[in-house]
């Protein structure tokens, strides 16, 4: 294997794409003695935001937040960060950029994993004629929703670099081509209309994109084995796919083989890629996972449960809407629904132009809604629900369904 084969393609100061990649929407507060790079600062800003913390209580595949051995969304994100850093470091790419993209790539994931995402998407399409997918919502989270306090106590948007934002919105690991290469031009990211519409802008983002797949395929199998949901026949099929004389089937083995093969075969001419053998191997494992894990009957039952929760919260919040009198209606329902009304009221205080007038906190971030407009209120409800953790959504549902 040839180490550092991408060292002349890496995104460091002086690289052809450097200037657009370190561009931010606004100049960022800086300290004279700050020793961090732009991408290290982005990494820290993501690490300390609320959306990152909430991922510890969001589903990866299995709804098992009471089972500490089962992967949650935050663990998956950290797996992607680890795999991305390993690959980027070996190839000679900017590991700081890869890490920042990786830990932020799922900030916009809905509660209850991909089934929660699909449920919210159906609501957004029906009510607003807008699409909803977690990569685009992750961009909305980092651009508009998440805030950090500055040294004066002002709440400001995260204001990340273009390269990190680009890698996050274009990270989708559901790719079947065996060669990832970055696009040439910087494009307005807010105009992206669907997953995988464009290739990422940097080689580092291409690494994260494939690291996402490497990270979830093996770990999802490991969780399925832990939960004992695979039949003996399915286990035999999996052993035939994995082959190679391995006595055990676990995430460590699969990740090692995939990372090593990717590093051995990737170069600037061919792109980030596997050998033909491992490319077909990845697709076989992915096919196995979809047939026997992601479409498992118990997960379909769980999807019905998640749909009931999300749709109940959505319908209840829409019942609260009363145009300019919505604040009064929310206030009148505090005794009946204290958890939901307090939480949603805080959301509107932070992001709605009408509510913010009544709050004494120091806000310097974007205003997102004017709830005098019905569609703005619908968007506020969708944004709010998408931000919830599994556990909090369940608590709200229990409040709404019990007397």
Concatenating the DSSP letter of every residue in 269-331 gives TTBB---HHHHHHHHHHHHHHIIIIIT-HHHHHHHHHHHHHHHHHHHHHHHT--GGGHHHHHH
So what's the pLDDT on residue 379?
98
- In this structure, the number of other CB atoms found within 10 A of the CB of residue 185 comes to 8
Lowest-pLDDT choice from 158-162, 246-250, 258-262, 334-338: 246-250
pLDDT digits (tens, 9 = 90+) for 223-242: 998 899 999 999 899 888 88
Local structure of residue 197 (DSSP, 8 states): S
* Pairing, β 147-149 against β 155-157: antiparallel
**Long-range CB contacts (< 8 A, 24+ apart) of 45-48?**
45/148, 45/158, 45/160, 46/100, 46/103, 46/104, 46/107, 46/142, 46/158, 46/160, 47/103, 48/148
- In this structure, the number of other CB atoms found within 10 A of the CB of residue 260 comes to 15
Give the residue carrying structure tokens 């002349």. Answer: 8
- In this structure, the number of other CB atoms found within 10 A of the CB of residue 45 comes to 20
How far is Cα 394 from Cα 66, in angstroms, rounded to an integer? 13
Domains, the chain, in order of start with CATH, read 18-28+35-107+146-294 (1.10.3210.10), 297-401 (no CATH)
**pLDDT above 90 as % of the chain:** 76
In sequence order, the 6+-apart residues with CB closer than 8 A to the CB of 169 are: 135, 136, 138, 139, 189, 192
Is the model's pLDDT at 359 over the cut of 70? no
So what's the pLDDT on residue 176?
63
| Mean pLDDT of the region 182-201 | 94
Crossing angle of helices 162-169 and 203-227, in 10° steps, is 40
Under the banding of pLDDT at 50, 70 and 90, the label for residue 153 is confident
Rounded to two decimals, what is the model's pTM?
0.94
Half-sphere exposure of 237 (CA within 13 A, CB side): 13
């Amino acid at each position: 294997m040839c180490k550092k084969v991408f060292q002349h393609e890496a995104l460091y100061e002086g690289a052809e794409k450097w200037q657009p990649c370190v561009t931010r929407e606004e100049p960022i507060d800086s300290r004279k003695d700050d020793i961090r790079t732009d991408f290290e600062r982005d990494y820290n800003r993501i690490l300390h935001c609320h959306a990152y913390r909430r991922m510890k209580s969001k589903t990866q595949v299995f709804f098992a937040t009471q089972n500490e051995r089962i992967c949650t969304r935050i663990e998956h994100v950290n797996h992607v960060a680890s795999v991305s850093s390993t690959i980027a470091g070996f190839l000679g790419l900017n590991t700081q950029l890869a890490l920042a993209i990786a830990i932020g790539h799922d900030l916009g994931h809905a509660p209850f994993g991909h089934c929660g995402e699909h449920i919210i998407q159906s609501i957004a399409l029906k009510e607003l004629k807008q699409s909803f997918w977690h990569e685009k919502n992750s961009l909305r989270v980092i651009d508009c929703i998440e805030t950090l306090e500055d040294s004066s106590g002002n709440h400001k948007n995260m204001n990340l670099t273009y390269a990190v934002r680009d890698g996050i919105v274009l990270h989708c690991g559901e790719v079947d081509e065996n060669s990832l290469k970055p696009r040439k031009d910087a494009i307005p990211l807010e105009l992206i209309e669907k997953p995988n519409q464009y290739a990422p802008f940097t080689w580092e983002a291409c690494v994260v994109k494939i690291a996402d797949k490497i990270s979830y395929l093996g770990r999802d199998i490991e969780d399925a084995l832990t939960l004992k949901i695979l039949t003996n026949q399915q286990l035999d099929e999996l052993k035939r796919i994995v082959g190679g004389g391995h006595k055990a089937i676990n995430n460590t083995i699969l990740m090692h083989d995939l990372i090593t093969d990717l590093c051995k075969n990737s170069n600037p001419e061919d792109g980030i890629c596997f050998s033909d053998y491992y490319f077909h191997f990845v697709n076989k494992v992915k096919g196995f996972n979809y047939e026997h894990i992601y479409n498992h009957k118990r997960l379909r039952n769980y999807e019905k449960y998640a749909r009931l929760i999300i749709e109940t919260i959505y319908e209840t919040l829409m019942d609260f809407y009363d145009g300019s009198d919505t604040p009064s209606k929310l206030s009148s329902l505090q005794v009946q629904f204290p958890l939901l009304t307090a939480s949603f009221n805080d959301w509107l205080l932070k992001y709605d132009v009408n509510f913010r007038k009544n709050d004494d906190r120091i806000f310097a971030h974007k205003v997102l809604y004017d709830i005098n407009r019905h569609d703005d209120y619908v968007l506020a409800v969708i944004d709010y629900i998408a931000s919830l953790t599994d556990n909090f959504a369940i608590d709200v549902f229990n409040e709404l369904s019990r007397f």
